Structures are given as C-alpha cells and as structure tokens.
C-alpha cells in the first residue's frame, strides 16, 4: 500500500473487484487469486467469458489461478522486479506504450535534479553505515527563476523522468529476464506482448496482486514496478485498468484506514513524532507541499490536512479539545523510531527497548485481539521466546490460538520449559464476524455494513465490549488512584449510549463526523450548510476551527444526513460498468474508480468511449464520482489530486529504497545478483541481530521455499472447523517430481524441510506443478508449503508452524517480512512409509 500511495497518492486498490470484468487483459502476478480470493476472482472469469479477455498468470508455481489462465509463465520466487522491468523495457523499446497518457498524466516529462544517479546497484544518497538513503538526492529540478517544477513536454530532456526510466530499465532485456527469473525467453515475450497490447487508448488491462508481492524484502518496489508499468501503458484511472491490490482479509483495508499500523492515525494522517511539540509544528511537517506553477496545477488535496486533523482530535477528545489546548494534540501518543510489531517483538525478545540506546526495559505486557503473532510472525521460535519474557498477556479471541498457549508449545520450537515461564495469560472469549454488527471494508474500498447473525456463545463478548470494559476499568483506577500520564485516559471522549458496549452504528456516525456548530457555506457565509449536531455529508464539510468532528476524514460521507450508506444494497448499475453507486459506500466520496480523471484525455474525452470513467460535458464531469473538482474544466487540475505534482509518479522520491524499482535478490537467495553482485540484496532492507535471527546460506540450504494459503482454509482459524478440515486435513509440502525422485521421496510419504531457523515435517505432495528453473546455467529448485496449521486445537488437525522456518528479513518501507522467498534443505523422513 505504501507503494501505491507513493505512486498515485492513495494506498488502496485503484479500481474495484467488479471492474475487473471490464478488462481486456488481466495479469495476475504475486497473487493466486483463484485460491485466495475465489469470490472476487469471479470477475476475472467474467472478463474472459464476456470480453474474451486474456488472463495471464505469472507464478513460481502452477496454481489454481494458472489452471484457468490463458497463458502461464513461471519465474523464480523474488525476481518479479526483473520480470516487470523487462515488460516496461519491452513497452518503451517497441513503442507499445500510451505516450500521450504518459505526457499528460504522469511525471514522465518532469526533470530530475542532477544529484540523482544509479550505479552498481546503488542509487545516489546511500549511507552505508546506516543502511539508509538520503532522499534529498532524488528530488525534482526546480526552475531557478520561478521555482516551479521543470518539465519537458516533449520528454526528450536527458534528465526527464521518461528518459531516466528508459535508461534504468535498459538492462532488463528478455535475455536478462531469462537469466535472472528463469522464465524462458519465448514465454516472457508472449507475456510482454499480451500485457503491452493494452498500451493504447482503445484497450485497458488490469494487474491483480497480493501477498506474493508484498512479502519480500523488496515488496514495495515490486508493486512500484507494477504501478509504473500501468502508468506507462496508460491503464490507471480507467475502467478495466488499475493496480488491484487484493487484501488478505475481508476487512484489512478497513483496518489500515483506521490506523492499523503504528505510523498512521485514522485516514492515513501521520502519527506525530516527539520532536513536534505543537500542532502548528506538526501541521507544518504533515501535509506535502507543492512547488508552484507547473504543467498541471495540482489540487494537492492534502492541503486540507489541518481540517482532517482537527476534526479527528475533536472526535477523540470531545469537549476537552479546545483551541487553547491545541485540540488535545499533546495527549496523542508520539513515536520516535520504529514501533511496527516486528520491532516490538524484537524488543520483547531482547527484553530491552532499542529506542533509548538499549537501556530502557522492553515491553512487559501485551494485548492482542484478532491477531495470532506466534502463527503469523516469521521465525516462530523468536516469537514464542519473546512472549515468555512478558509479565502478562491478554488475548481476545474466539479460539484458543497458538499465541494464547505459547507456554505449552511443543519442544521443537525451542521455547523455555513451561515451569520457567512466568507470563500470566488471560484469554478473553471474543466473538466471530457473524456475532457482531459493523462494516467490512473490502479490497475495493467498499464499506459494507453487516448485521449480527447470532449472539456470541456463552460468556463470549464482542470485541468492542471487551475493549470498552478494559478502558472504563483503567479509567476508574486512574480516577481513584491517579497515575502516570492520566490525560489521554481521562479525557478520551466516550459518550456512547451504552459506554460498556458501544453500538457500532454510533461509532460509524462518529467516524463520519458531524457539525459541532452551524457550518456556513464558504462561498456564501449567509447560508448554513449544516446545523449544529447534524451529520456531515462528506470530508468537504470538515473544518479546522473545531466546529466539526470526524474520526476518519476518508470515511466521511458514509453516515451523512441520508443515514448509513454502508447498509445500502441497491444493485442498480445505470452506467453498465459494474460501479453500483448505491451499493454500500466506497471511500473516498463513494468514488468507484480512483484517479478517474486519467480515464479521459487532455480535453476530457474518454480514451475509450465504450468504457468511460468520467467525461467532461462542457460544464462538469459526469460518470463515476469524479476524482477531481467536479466543475473544474479539463486542463485546470492534474488527475492525481493527492500528489503535489498532480500527476502519477513513474519516478517516486518518497520511498526508502529508491525512486525506480531495481532487482535485488532475497536476503536468502540461491544465486548472486547478476546485475550487481556486490549489492546483491536490497541495501535498505532490514534484518535483526539477536541469536534467534539467523540467516542461511545457499551451500547448506540450496532450495528456495515459499509459504502460502489454501482456499479451503482461512489463516490459523479454520483448523478449528471440521467441515474445512475434511477438505484439507493437514499440512503438506509441495515438491517437484524430479526433486522428489532425487531425494527418494514418494507422494504421500513424509518429508522434512529445514531452514537456518528450524525444521518441520509433513506429507509430501509430489507434483509437476513445480519444477526446476534454469538460472543463468544453474538449476534452481523451488518447493512450497501452506501455513494454516499450528499446535492448538483438535489434536487430529494440528500441524507444524510454517513460519518456524521463515526469516525475519523485512521490506524497508512497510517492515513486511520476507515469507515468500527463503532457503531450505529437503530430506526424506526415514522409517516412515
């Protein structure tokens, strides 16, 4: 998501599930959509059946998705950037790209400062001692006279983005792609040909990806490569186009929107750093600024940041937030350093906090809801040993998960003896999704209200009730006994009708926002657009003077004067493009295709009249909800309103590991980087250094391994559900036929996989769907196994933790672990049939 935000301005699926049916080409890569998103995958099938769309599957394994594709090509795990850059090169050298789109809707014409350089695997600005880049070396060139962006609309300037990009991808010839990825050249060219067939006004193609891209030490840059490819082909903002991030859970988009990670507040506002003592300082650093005049003026929608932030503070602290106290800004937690959960577990394991030079103690307590860190974290042994150092832990779950029972984990995981563990564990029975109301925000940003089907069983309570009761109990203790830092707890606005079990409809209203005083029309101050107490109809009505509140500006509009729009179920589709504007509510502003201004040319005419996104009718934009000021004529604003440049970024100076995507090998890789052997893996990627953070070499561990999910199961939940256990009863290891033969492993017999972190055993599934790849003359094997099992639950359906084997190596932007490429060895388990 970090990648899409750095390219387009917002971190979410650009189009939507249903819109996939409008595509001419569907490239599925870094995703096994048929396996993991079978319902959404329907729309790829619809495109095939109704538009004769070509479905292309590029994957190390021949998967369920590959089984129904029109073209399948293999590649070695973790080499996706080489493959994608190869397609970009193919498009640019053959002219199969949408040049006019690149000119008006991307930063292709923008000139980059001469400090930018790329040499021997490193971009300029690298500080080897910190393992970090100084992004100041990657900035745009400003015109010395006007201080505006310098652009060359002919895109001929040697330092304009398009030319720099051509130079950057020039090394990725089809031959080089074959040598790095192991994809036979003719197969690569077939894929490149089909994908670039959409590099024009008439055709549109989409890319679907998921965790097969994100879970790499280069994850964000893989997605960057795909996003730039789509910009080059002119496929962003258009029906049937886009970069469609398939989220791994039904509500993970909603979780991210509501600040699921430490560095953001709701609505992707930034968590303040400790150095920013006042709101004014924070607001100065928060929103991106734009250089003035350029080819396009940017709406730079983030300039409304203060309105979003003040409304959030008002929603958080209620009447306690006043102009005099900076709307309670100082009560917000501040972060200096990395508090992603990977780092928290590292602190926990080391028993100390790195933030203060290692002298502060590590966390002593831990509350976990709807998350099973022992299962989902890499390097399970480190996770288990980390939890053993806690004084207490609270787990809110509807099953007894591995995290809650870490103290009795099987010996093989290397945890301490149970008798040595002092952690006090509280397991609170919570409720499943069918046992509570609320919204799901799907990959397509559709907020859909759901109604409780049944009450939670027995003493189980809804999550919101458990959390509310903890808060109110802690608050009562503060009131009685006092304590450190009382204001955030005491001042939190908690004015729900039932404070012990807040109604989620009320919460949604709060998220949407309401007027705290009469709101006047900025154009005509005599007109009142919202009376005090009324729900707002969208983020355009939010104010920065404390007269509005709203828990998440991005969701504003979902519960306005017309009621709960997430609960709408009208499947009318007057445009015939599957937009369904009256079904649920799609943030932002019920817009179904983001950046839809880019679906039209400079004059506002759609590139493809049969699939218009929005159209300028002479007075306003019509079609989808326009992603631009509705009455702004073509030529006034750029299509990417969240970017201060106003255009999509082929070159993005925002990420931590480079403005262009570059192929780096995984932290554990079977070969060296062919392009720059001295800088073989991502120089900015992150690793840990405890005794549990060990990494394996290719001599001892010559085989590449990948983990994944199965359609029959859902994470670590459903091995508690016997009808699904019937469909997939247990753990297995998929092994290529020839490799199995070499190792003497028969189908259905037992095999052992070992990495530098540990070893697990399971049933061998010998298959032709995996096979060796020829990597620059070297034969490289690849195996894989699913991750759904663990040691808790029905003894008939327990299994090894797949993540016992995975390394704690991370992407430098999102700190997502590298689950998709690591090294192992494989053996037959002797003495078992």
Catalog residues that contact another protein under the rule CB under 8 A: 34-35, 38-39, 41-42, 45-46, 48-49, 52, 62, 64-68, 70, 72, 711-712, 722-732, 747-748, 762-769
Contact of 666 with 77, CB cutoff 8 Å: yes
Contact of 236 with 596, CB cutoff 8 Å: no
The closest of 623, 563, 551 to 593, measured between CA atoms, is 623
Contact of 808 with 693, CB cutoff 8 Å: yes
Cβ atoms within 10 Å of 315's Cβ, excluding its own:
21
Measured from the CB atom, the residue of 193 and 487 that comes closer to another protein is: 193
Strand-pairing partners, residue 665, are 681
Nearest distance from C-beta of residue 507 to another protein, angstroms? 31
Supply angle C-alpha 358, 364, 366, rounded to 5. 120
Nearest distance from C-beta of residue 814 to another protein, angstroms? 29
Measured from the CB atom, the residue of 190 and 450 that comes closer to another protein is: 190
Nearest distance from C-beta of residue 781 to another protein, angstroms? 17
Nearest distance from C-beta of residue 410 to another protein, angstroms? 19
Contact of 223 with 213, CB cutoff 8 Å: yes
What does the block give as tokens for 561?
Answer: 């004067």
Nearest distance from C-beta of residue 429 to another protein, angstroms? 25
Measured from the CB atom, the residue of 62 and 118 that comes closer to another protein is: 62
> How buried is residue 691: exposed, middle or buried, by Cβ count under 10 Å (0-12/13-18/19+)?
exposed
Cα separation, 434 vs 429, whole angstroms: 15
* E-only strand ranges, 442-589: 446-450, 514-515, 519-520, 528-530, 548-549, 559-560, 563-564, 585-586
Nearest distance from C-beta of residue 87 to another protein, angstroms? 21
Measured from the CB atom, the residue of 88 and 735 that comes closer to another protein is: 735
Measured from the CB atom, the residue of 629 and 828 that comes closer to another protein is: 828
The closest of 660, 775, 668 to 119, measured between CA atoms, is 660
Radius of gyration for the chain, computed over Cα atoms and rounded to the nearest angstrom: 26
Contact of 511 with 551, CB cutoff 8 Å: yes
Contact of 239 with 611, CB cutoff 8 Å: yes
Handedness of CA 39, 40, 45, 49 (dihedral sign): positive
Nearest distance from C-beta of residue 178 to another protein, angstroms? 17
Cβ atoms within 10 Å of 427's Cβ, excluding its own:
16
Nearest distance from C-beta of residue 57 to another protein, angstroms? 11
DSSP, residue by residue, 301-312 = GGGGHHHHHHHH
Measured from the CB atom, the residue of 340 and 749 that comes closer to another protein is: 749
Where do we find the tokens 């070992």?
Answer: 754
Measured from the CB atom, the residue of 317 and 583 that comes closer to another protein is: 583
Cα separation, 525 vs 527, whole angstroms: 5
Cβ atoms within 10 Å of 574's Cβ, excluding its own:
9
Nearest distance from C-beta of residue 764 to another protein, angstroms? 6
Nearest distance from C-beta of residue 197 to another protein, angstroms? 15
DSSP 473: H
Cα separation, 547 vs 540, whole angstroms: 13
Nearest distance from C-beta of residue 731 to another protein, angstroms? 7
Measured from the CB atom, the residue of 278 and 726 that comes closer to another protein is: 726
Cα separation, 631 vs 301, whole angstroms: 16
The closest of 552, 544, 641 to 594, measured between CA atoms, is 641
Measured from the CB atom, the residue of 176 and 765 that comes closer to another protein is: 765
Cα-Cα-Cα-Cα dihedral of 758, 764, 770, 776, to 10°? 40
Nearest distance from C-beta of residue 37 to another protein, angstroms? 9
Measured from the CB atom, the residue of 43 and 339 that comes closer to another protein is: 43
What does the block give as tokens for 277?
Answer: 């003592």
Measured from the CB atom, the residue of 161 and 760 that comes closer to another protein is: 760
Measured from the CB atom, the residue of 184 and 288 that comes closer to another protein is: 184
Nearest distance from C-beta of residue 76 to another protein, angstroms? 17
Which are the contacts of 556, defined by CB distance < 8 A and separation ≥ 6? Answer: 511, 512, 513, 536, 538, 539, 541, 542, 550
Nearest distance from C-beta of residue 39 to another protein, angstroms? 4
Nearest distance from C-beta of residue 623 to another protein, angstroms? 27
Burial 259-293 (b: 16+ CB within 10 A, else e): beebbbbbbbbbebeeebeebeebbeebbeebbee
Nearest distance from C-beta of residue 66 to another protein, angstroms? 7
> At 7, phi and psi to the nearest 5?
-100, -50
Handedness of CA 369, 371, 377, 380 (dihedral sign): positive
Measured from the CB atom, the residue of 65 and 403 that comes closer to another protein is: 65
Measured from the CB atom, the residue of 131 and 729 that comes closer to another protein is: 729
Helix axes 80-94, 219-232, angle to 10 degrees: 20
> At 625, phi and psi to the nearest 5?
-65, 120
Secondary structure class of 733 (helix, strand, coil): strand
Measured from the CB atom, the residue of 454 and 723 that comes closer to another protein is: 723
Measured from the CB atom, the residue of 538 and 730 that comes closer to another protein is: 730
Cα separation, 83 vs 706, whole angstroms: 18
Measured from the CB atom, the residue of 52 and 359 that comes closer to another protein is: 52
Cα separation, 271 vs 402, whole angstroms: 31
Nearest distance from C-beta of residue 29 to another protein, angstroms? 17
């Amino acid at each position: 998501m970090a990648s899409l935000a750095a390219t387009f301005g917002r971190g979410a699926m650009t189009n939507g599930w249903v819109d996939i049916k409008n595509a001419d080409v569907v490239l599925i890569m870094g995703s096994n959509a048929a396996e993991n998103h079978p319902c959404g995958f329907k729309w790829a099938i619809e495109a095939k059946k109704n538009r004769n769309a070509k479905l292309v599957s590029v994957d190390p394994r021949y998967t369920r998705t590959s089984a129904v594709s029109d073209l399948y090509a293999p590649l070695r795990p973790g080499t996706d950037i080489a493959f994608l850059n190869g397609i970009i090169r193919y498009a640019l050298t053959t002219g199969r790209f949408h040049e006019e789109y690149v000119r008006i809707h991307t930063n292709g014409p923008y000139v980059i400062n001469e400090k930018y350089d790329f040499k021997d695997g490193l971009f300029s600005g690298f500080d080897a001692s910190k393992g970090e880049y100084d992004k100041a070396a990657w900035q745009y060139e400003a015109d010395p006279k006007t201080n505006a962006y310098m652009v060359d609309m002919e895109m001929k300037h040697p330092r304009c983005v398009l030319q720099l990009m051509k130079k950057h991808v020039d090394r990725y010839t089809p031959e080089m792609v074959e040598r790095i990825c192991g994809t036979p050249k003719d197969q690569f060219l077939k894929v490149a040909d089909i994908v670039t067939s959409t590099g024009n006004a008439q055709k549109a193609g989409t890319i679907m990806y998921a965790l097969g891209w994100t879970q790499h030490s280069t994850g964000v840059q893989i997605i960057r490569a795909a996003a730039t490819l789509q910009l080059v082909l002119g496929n962003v903002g258009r029906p049937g186009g886009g970069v469609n991030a398939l989220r791994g859970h039904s509500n993970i988009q909603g979780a991210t929107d509501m600040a699921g990670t430490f560095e953001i507040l709701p609505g992707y506002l930034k968590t303040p750093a400790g150095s920013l003592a006042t709101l004014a300082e924070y607001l100065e650093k928060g929103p991106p600024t734009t250089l003035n005049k350029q080819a396009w003026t940017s709406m730079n929608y983030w300039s409304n940041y203060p309105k979003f932030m003040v409304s959030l503070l008002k929603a958080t602290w209620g009447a306690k937030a006043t102009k005099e106290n900076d709307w309670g800004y100082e009560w917000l937690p501040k972060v200096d350093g990395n508090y992603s959960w990977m780092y928290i577990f590292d602190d926990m394991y080391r028993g100390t906090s790195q933030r203060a030079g290692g002298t502060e103690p590590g966390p002593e307590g831990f509350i976990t809801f709807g998350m099973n860190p022992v299962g989902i974290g890499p390097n399970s042994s480190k996770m288990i040993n980390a939890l053993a150092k806690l004084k207490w832990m609270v787990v809110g779950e509807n099953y007894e998960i591995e995290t809650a029972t870490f103290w009795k984990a099987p010996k093989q995981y290397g945890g301490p003896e149970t008798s040595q563990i002092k952690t006090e564990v509280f397991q609170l029975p919570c409720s499943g999704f069918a046992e509570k109301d609320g919204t799901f925000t799907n990959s397509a940003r559709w907020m859909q209200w759901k109604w409780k089907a049944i009450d939670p069983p027995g003493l189980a309570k809804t999550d919101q009730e458990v959390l509310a009761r903890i808060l109110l109990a802690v608050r009562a203790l503060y009131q009685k006994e006092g304590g450190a830092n009382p204001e955030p707890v005491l001042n939190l606005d908690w004015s729900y009708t039932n404070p012990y079990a807040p109604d989620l409809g009320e919460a949604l209203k709060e998220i949407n926002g309401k007027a705290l005083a009469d709101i006047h029309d900025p154009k005509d101050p005599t007109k009142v657009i919202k009376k005090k107490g009324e729900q707002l109809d969208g983020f355009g009505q939010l104010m920065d003077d404390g007269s509005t509140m709203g828990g998440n500006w991005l969701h504003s509009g979902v519960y306005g004067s017309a009621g709960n729009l997430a609960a709408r179920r009208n499947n009318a589709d007057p445009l015939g493009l599957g937009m369904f504007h009256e079904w649920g509510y799609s943030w932002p502003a019920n817009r179904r295709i983001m950046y839809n201004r880019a679906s039209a040319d400079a004059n506002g005419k759609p590139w493809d009249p049969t699939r218009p996104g929005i159209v300028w009718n002479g007075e306003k934009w019509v079609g989808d909800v326009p992603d631009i000021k509705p009455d702004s004529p073509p030529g006034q604003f750029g299509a990417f309103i969240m970017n201060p440049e106003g255009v999509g970024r082929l070159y993005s100076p925002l990420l931590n590991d480079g403005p262009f995507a570059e192929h780096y090998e995984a932290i554990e890789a079977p070969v060296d980087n062919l392009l720059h052997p001295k800088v073989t893996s991502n120089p900015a990627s992150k690793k840990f250094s405890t005794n549990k953070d060990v990494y394996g070499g290719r001599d001892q561990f010559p085989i590449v391994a990948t983990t994944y999910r199965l359609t029959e199961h859902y994470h670590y939940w459903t091995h508690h559900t016997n009808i699904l256990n019937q469909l997939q009863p247990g753990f297995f290891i998929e092994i290529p036929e020839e490799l199995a033969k070499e190792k003497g492993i028969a189908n259905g017999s037992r095999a052992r996989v070992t990495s530098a972190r540990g070893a697990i055993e399971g049933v061998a599934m010998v298959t032709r769907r995996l096979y060796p790849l020829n990597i620059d003359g070297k034969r490289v094997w690849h195996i894989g196994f699913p991750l759904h099992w663990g040691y808790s639950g029905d003894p008939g359906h327990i299994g090894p933790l797949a993540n016992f084997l995975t390394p704690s190596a991370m992407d430098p932007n999102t700190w997502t672990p590298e689950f998709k490429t690591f090294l192992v060895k494989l053996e037959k388990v002797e003495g078992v049939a």
